[in-house]
Amino acid sequence: MGEHPSPGPAVAACAEAERIEELEPEAEERPAAAPEDHWKVLFDQFDPGNTGYISTGKFRSLLESHSSELDPHKREVLLALADSHADGQICYQDFVNLMSNKRSNSFRQAILQGNRRLCSKALLEEKGLNLSQRLIRHVAYETLPREIDRKWYYDSYTCCPPPWFMITVTLLEVAFFLYNGVSLDQFVLQVTHPRYLKNALVYHPQLRAQAWRYLTYIFMHAGIEHLGLNVVLQLLVGVPLEMVHGATRIGLVYVAGVVAGSLAVSVADMTAPVVGSSGGVYALVSAHLANIVMNWSGMKCQFKLLRMAVALVCMSMEFGRAVWLRFHPSAYPPCPHPSFVAHLGGVAVGITLGVVVLRNYEQRLQDQSLWWIFVAMYMVFVLFAVFWNIFAYTLLDLKLPPPP
């Protein structure tokens, strides 16, 4: 890639539409066709018998005739797909999905099993990139283990929409912390203030019937030392992951970790309150670290061993701080300090649901059997925790701290 990078997928799609309109003068008199109809016209030129298949040789001719309108990395992937078909034919649906930037699980398997080696230089070796292109390339190497995926992401990413979810959550957490700091006149170890637990966002065992507290506790932190590490991890890990996998998937993992964290506390540490976003943060970080370990040879991020060690040390220090605070004599007995079990709930979500999400870049999660297994496990845990909260506290005759 030189100083004038090739057009992105959206530009290529528009160029294809214009070429088709030139081939069909009467098209102006008809309603605008859907994108798949344009691809159908193009495909039918090489499939006059309407069999639904074209030979890989014709597929290569099609790519060569439209090579100027395709991103070079995308063209490599399409050629690799052609070489991977032992029967010498390309299906129309595979063609439409690829040209529309949709990648099925069968597409990935075809590429991985193909006999073509992508001989062009790696994305990391390309010169003449501007600052934004270098940033996108850096994110690709930080999060994706396969060169094909990295090139596909680099060509497809448009920063629209931006990574809004993690940034919005982080800004809200900082805003609530500053508000509480001013109102309590305390920023370090806010949790020791006698009015801290009176906030309507904190999860408290006596107020567990107020369902919003299982989620809103993330906006309350024990102190600036607690908030600081969570914010750093959210921005350094969460934002790049959202840039690659999207707000929906990363938001799902984050929220699932948050809810699992508070429910885990309500089951395993029944007398303790919960504050902080560690459940969601640990879900994302543990999923990312597990993905790196499982794809160690493919991950090309620099100093990955050292960085993993630093991340684990930071997570361990934060977890140790939470354990120490939980068993430290409370400033407002008989209510104990916040629980540390939410961290473990987040880790459990990260190494199950989170890993499946990160390992299936641009793949349909509903096609992954492992995804449904982990979703079922998560739902069973949620249902168990709900019934536990309804019946167990009464049956065990547990002595809970008084309401704040």
Just list the catalytic residues.
Answer: 278, 343
245 within 8 A of 358, measured Cβ to Cβ: yes
| CA Rg value for the chain | 26
Query: By C-alpha distance, which of 282, 304, 257 is closest to 145?
Result: 304
Outline where 66-146 has alpha helix (H).
72-84, 92-99, 105-113, 131-143
- List Cβ neighbours of 73 (8 Å cut-off, separation of 6 or more): 123, 151, 152, 154, 155
How far, in Å, CA of 277 to CA of 283, rounded? 10
Residue 30, token pair as written in the block: 């008809």
Residue 303, token pair as written in the block: 């100093």
Q: Name the amino acid, one letter, at 337.
A: H
Q: What is the residue-wise DSSP string for 256-308? A: HHHHHHHHHHHHHSTT--B-SSHHHHHHHHHHHHHHHHHTTTT---TTHHHHH
- List Cβ neighbours of 203 (8 Å cut-off, separation of 6 or more): 213, 214, 217, 262, 265, 266, 273, 274, 275
How far, in Å, CA of 156 to CA of 9, rounded? 6
Q: What is the residue-wise DSSP string for 200-216? A: TTSB-GGGTTSTTHHHH
Query: By C-alpha distance, which of 154, 147, 144 is closest to 294?
Result: 144
The three-state DSSP-derived secondary structure of 294-330 is HCCCCCCCCCHHHHHHHHHHHHHHHHHHHHHHHHCCC
Query: By C-alpha distance, which of 181, 110, 104 is closest to 362?
Result: 104
